[in-house]
Amino acid sequence: MSLFLTNSRSSAYPKMGMPFFLIACQHHVITRGVVVGMGMETSGESDLDSRAVEFRLGTLADLDQLLVLYAQLIPEQTPALPLARECLTRILNDSGHGWIAVAEYEGKVIATCQAVIYANIIRAPQPKAMIDSVVVDAARRGQGIGKGLMHWTMQELRARDCGLVLVATSFKRLVAHKLYEDLGFAAFGHSYLIDLATESATYRRQA
């Protein structure tokens, strides 16, 4: 896998916001589709057969299992099923601007992330992308699934000629920091979030 790192700079994290990681992908044509066991490395003993893990685009049939994973990622936010279904339908109908990726093992969705693609005049003609809502089922962490899913997603982004790819995570998710750095992402700066409905910060740095 060929990756080209951007220059990075380090600085203290702000009072609110999240660590911000950045990578620039060299363009080359790849074969897209379902991939089995791609880029997976385990950190210890595991009963998981990496050859049986499939990375693919998510579908509406995955919604219930996606909601279980999202509840592990952000327990305090639980969307109503009809609203979640409507949102996923919009994403699936606009695949030119992103998609939901999943890792499936023995018929169960065990990891997911969302890729968002957007045009950027400064980087024209290449679009930029962000990988969001990355979560691996708690029972399957440390088995290389997150790394495999990210590899697959970045290949999909290369196939669509994306240049810079961004990902953000919370301060306390140190395992996620290491994952992104191992994948070639460089810690680049800060991301800031605000809830426009309340004009308040949605996250604050945790000690």
Question: pTM of the full predicted structure?
Answer: 0.78
Question: Are 57 and 104 in contact, with CB atoms under 8 Å apart?
Answer: no
pLDDT tens track for 109-148: 999 999 999 999 998 999 999 999 999 999 999 999 999 9
Could you identify the residue written with the tokens 């018929």? 107
Query: Is 30-40+49-160 a CATH 3.40.630.30 domain?
Result: yes
| DSSP for 89-138, written as a single string | HHHHTTGGGEEEEEEEETTEEEEEEEEEEE--TTTTTSPEEEEEEEEE-G
In the chain, domain spans:
30-40+49-160
Compute the chain's Rg from CA coordinates. 17
What is the number of H-type helices and E-type strands within the chain? Answer: 4, 8
Question: pLDDT tens digits for 138-169?
Answer: 999 999 999 999 999 999 999 999 989 999 88
* pLDDT block averages, 10 residues each, the chain of length 207: 31 47 50 52 69 96 98 93 97 96 98 97 94 97 96 95 92 90 89 83 53
